[in-house]
Amino acid sequence: MESKHVNQQIAAMRQSFFDEEVLDEFFSQLEQLEDQNNPNFVEEVFTMYFRDSTTLLETVEQAMKTISITLAKMDKILHQLKGSSASVGANKVLNEINKTRQVLEKGNLEGTKAGIWEMRKEYDSLKAKLEPYFQLKQANSVPQEK
């Protein structure tokens, strides 16, 4: 069946996320919160996440370009990113954030820059992987609802 095939595809995609450790257990938690009333809860959460963190990440990148940025401010932003990434289960992104924060604490600006760059990489990667996933999921569920 087409839907069955799609389902399999979705499942495979999902599994890969875990295998690659792109996502962690918290993602599962979010999935658990999904139910009939909120079939797209996870997607909604991620939409929000992507929206906010994009802004944050950009701010961080900008900040790095600015000379007058204070480390404290940077840390604050990273902390925010950390909180939300952890909550959604964005594992790799979270790891990069933690690494960057540690480097930042030591006052290593260059290292921080590199860290942020890594963060950005993982973040974009996550987004790229999840978006088709959700689309597929969404598409799959629609026919079923009908």
Cβ distance to other proteins smaller for residue 49 or 133? 49
DSSP character string of the chain: -HHHHHHHHHHHHHHHHHHTTSB-HHHHHHHHH--SS-TTHHHHHHHHHHHHHHHHHHHHHHHHH-SS--HHHHHHHHHHHHHHHHHHTBHHHHHHHHHHHHHHHTT-HHHHHHHHHHHHHHHHHHHHHHHHHHHHHHHHHHHHH-
- Interface map 22-61 toward other proteins (x if CB under 8 A): ----x--xx-xx----x--x--xx--xx--xx--------
Please give the residues from 74 up to 103 whose contact with other proteins meets the rule CB under 8 A.
Answer: 76, 79-80, 82-84, 86-89
- Residue ranges in contact with other proteins by CB under 8 A: 26, 29-30, 32-33, 38, 41, 44-45, 48-49, 52-53, 76, 79-80, 82-84, 86-89
